[in-house]
Amino acid sequence: MTRSNTPILRIEGVGKRFGPVTAVDNVSLDIRENEFFALLGPSGCGKTTLLRMLAGFEAPGTGRILLDGKDISPLPPEKRPLNLMFQSYALFPHMTVRQNLSYGLEMERLPKADIRRRVDDTMGMTDLTPFAERKPEQLSGGQKQRVALARALVKRPKVLLLDEPLGALDKKLRERMQLELKRMQNEAGITFVIVTHDQEEALVMADRMAILKDGRLLQVGAPEEVYEHPAERFVANFIGVMNFIDGKTGADGVFAAEGLQVKAQGGKPGTATLAIRPENIAIGPPGDLPVSGIIVDIAYHGLDRVLHVRTAAAETPLQVRIPASGASNWKTGDPISLRLDPAKCRLFQ
């Protein structure tokens, strides 16, 4: 499916207050046609409220929501060409999978043959064909989740809104469903807007994502952009793992902390926090590389090991990610030396 840069959904200065709480604070962003877009942030950041405003269950206090250039803010949920998939699947327990999918289309009084074709197509896309005659209680959690998704897709909305769709699944199934959901979105050619508090989930699935905190939009971008170039310290910490080192940048642009000096990009003179990812620190025998440390912990992560290295520079041990093959000779308690890749260091001031 080709993706265009045309915005299908435009959120313009949207805000929402509940009494003294500002749930969503003047958010503006464009969601493009056919993209998989994630609204990401910690609990209480306003992502569900924003999604509910898109769906029409909540009226914006300020701003407008445009779909294909038309202001849909005054429209009730059922008049919007958007469909919201709820966190609790809300399947009809007494109906088969086929009946669960057909129901909404029968309500629209579509011809029987059309209903059958659309339901068959959607069951094919969501791998539900073998379960067509089963009732929800005869399905696993992952299968029920697919029925809920299929029921939303069969109505062919322009945009599908999903609120923590994988929240109820165990870790293994969730990881598999992340990839399936992405495949189904691609096949259906429908714009997906998903709410999640799980940064890994957003990184795996989303074409682009928005990071929210306290109702404010902090950054919008592709996963790799946000991971490589976090706009704020909060984003750097929230997405992936980041080491932080407090220190000072001199007039020459060199960042310095106890026992550590790095010529990082774009620093202004003054106090600064240097941020670096665990994969951007190299290790060597003691004395070989500029920063000295002691290994205080080694964590196993499948193909990788994460060494936790205490240094004079940082309050908490620095995390250093290395391939498992390079880790065999290191033990907790060993002295070690480190080098921070200057091109990968980021300064927050």
Closest contact distance (angstroms) between CB of 176 and ligand ATP is 23
Question: Given candidates 9, 34, 36, 47, which one binds ligand ATP under the rule CB under 6 A?
Answer: 47
Interaction of residue 57 with ligand ATP, rule CB under 6 A = no
Interaction of residue 199 with ligand ATP, rule CB under 6 A = no
In the complex with ligand ATP, which residue's Cβ is closer, 39 or 119?
Answer: 39
Contacts of residue 23, defined as CB under 8 A and 6 or more positions apart, other chains included, come to 16, 17, 46, 49, 215
Interaction of residue 90 with ligand ATP, rule CB under 6 A = no
Closest contact distance (angstroms) between CB of 89 and ligand ATP is 17
Interaction of residue 196 with ligand ATP, rule CB under 6 A = no
Closest contact distance (angstroms) between CB of 47 and ligand ATP is 4
Question: Given candidates 26, 32, 44, 81, which one binds ligand ATP under the rule CB under 6 A?
Answer: 44
Question: Given candidates 1, 6, 13, 18, which one binds ligand ATP under the rule CB under 6 A?
Answer: 18
Closest contact distance (angstroms) between CB of 238 and ligand ATP is 13
Interaction of residue 49 with ligand ATP, rule CB under 6 A = yes
Interaction of residue 197 with ligand ATP, rule CB under 6 A = yes
Task: Pick the piece of the chain touching ligand ATP (CB under 6 A) from 36-44, 65-73, 132-140, 230-238.
Answer: 36-44
Interaction of residue 21 with ligand ATP, rule CB under 6 A = yes
In the complex with ligand ATP, which residue's Cβ is closer, 5 or 43?
Answer: 43
Interaction of residue 48 with ligand ATP, rule CB under 6 A = yes
Residue type, 337: S
Interaction of residue 61 with ligand ATP, rule CB under 6 A = no
Interaction of residue 41 with ligand ATP, rule CB under 6 A = yes
Interaction of residue 80 with ligand ATP, rule CB under 6 A = no
Q: According to the 3-state scheme, what is the secondary structure of the chain?
A: CCCCCCEEEEEEEEEEEECCEEEEEEEEEEEECCCEEEEECCCCCCHHHHHHHHHCCCCCCEEEEEECCEECCCCCHHHCCEEEECCCCCCCCCCCHHHHHHHHHHHCCCCHHHHHHHHHHHHHHCCCHHHCCCCHHHCCHHHHHHHHHHHHHCCCCCEEEEECCCCCCCHHHHHHHHHHHHHHHHHHCCEEEEEECCHHHHHHHCCEEEEEECCEEEEEECHHHHHHCCCCHHHHHHCCCCEEEEEEECCCCEEEECCEEEECCCCCCEEEEEEECHHHEEEECCCCCCEEEEEEEEEEECCEEEEEEEECCCCCCEEEEEEHHHCCCCCCCCEEEEEECHHHCEEEC
Q: Which of residues 323-342 bind ligand ATP (CB under 6 A)?
A: none
Task: Pick the piece of the chain touching ligand ATP (CB under 6 A) from 15-23, 91-99, 103-111, 285-293.
Answer: 15-23
In the complex with ligand ATP, which residue's Cβ is closer, 197 or 308?
Answer: 197
In the complex with ligand ATP, which residue's Cβ is closer, 47 or 151?
Answer: 47
In the complex with ligand ATP, which residue's Cβ is closer, 47 or 118?
Answer: 47
Buried b (16+ CB within 10 A) or exposed e, 76-111: eeeebebbbbeeebebeeeebbbebbbeebeeeeee
Residues that bind ligand ATP (CB under 6 A): 18, 21, 23, 41, 43-49, 197
